[in-house]
Each structure stands twice: as C-alpha cells, then as structure tokens.
Amino acid sequence: MKFFDTKFWLPSRTHIPTGHQVNEHHPVGINMTPNRYVYKFKDEASDLLLLSALATESLHGRSALRINADFLLENTKKTCQISSETKVGQDLAKIYTGLLSYHLGEHSYEVKLNKHQNAER
C-alpha cells in the first residue's frame, strides 16, 4: 500500500528501496554515525519511513531534514537505521516508531539504540 509518491518531495537522485543513504548532502554517512536507532521488521515498511520523513520535514523544514537527518532503509534485509545525533533524527525516529506501532503492530518490529563505544575509555 502506497501512502504517497516520493517523487514529489524527495531529491531526484534519492531512491530509498535500494538501501542508499537518503541524505546525500551530509558529509558523514550513516555507517559512520556512532549513535543510531536500528530497526528490524517483519514486513516492508518503506512507505512508513517516507511518511515519517514528510512529518519530520513539516516540523523542522526541508533544509533541516536534508542537512540533519541521516537514515538508511534496506528492504532486502528488512532493516532501517536512523541517526540519533541530531534533534531532527531523534524526531524522525519517534515518528517512525509511532507509525510502525500503529500500522504494523508492536510485535512486528524491533528497535534499539546503538551507542558508540569510545575506545579511549
């Protein structure tokens, strides 16, 4: 079920289902972000991520979403990662978690916060 067409608001080079980073303009890729929320789900959830990004854009503005929110969706692995380094990323994760719970159910996904372990400690 498609909620909306992504071509109307995402940058033309963005294509989430293949697992590419959505925020192409941020110098640090999601794999290098030390703190991130990691989601694992049973069903396909790309539409809910896009809806969450749209809601986050409504809260913070398009520029803030593009600059401050890194997220990666890998449909083949049924995983999603959202950076928790910024307020925008945290809000995106909260909205995504709420939509997953409402539309797919509490038991259809897992989410955890991966925190970077500083090697100098």
Residue 2 is assigned to a structural domain of this protein: no
In the block, tokens 């794999």 appear at 31
Return the percent helix, strand and coil in the chain, to nearest 5: 45, 20, 40
pLDDT in tens, 22-43: 444 443 444 445 789 999 999 8
List the Cα angle 67/63/66 in 5-degree steps.
40
Quote the number of domains for the chain: 1
Q: Give me the CATH number covering residue 54.
A: 3.30.70
Residue 75 is assigned to a structural domain of this protein: yes
Residue 1 is assigned to a structural domain of this protein: no
CB atoms inside a 10 Å sphere around CB 11: 13
pLDDT in tens, 57-79: 999 999 999 888 888 888 888 99
Residue 42 is assigned to a structural domain of this protein: yes
Residue 12, SS3 per DSSP: coil
Distance CA 21, CA 29 (A): 7
Residue 87 is assigned to a structural domain of this protein: yes
Domain coverage including residue 94:
16-114
Residue 120 is assigned to a structural domain of this protein: no
> pTM of this prediction?
0.72
Residue 71 is assigned to a structural domain of this protein: yes
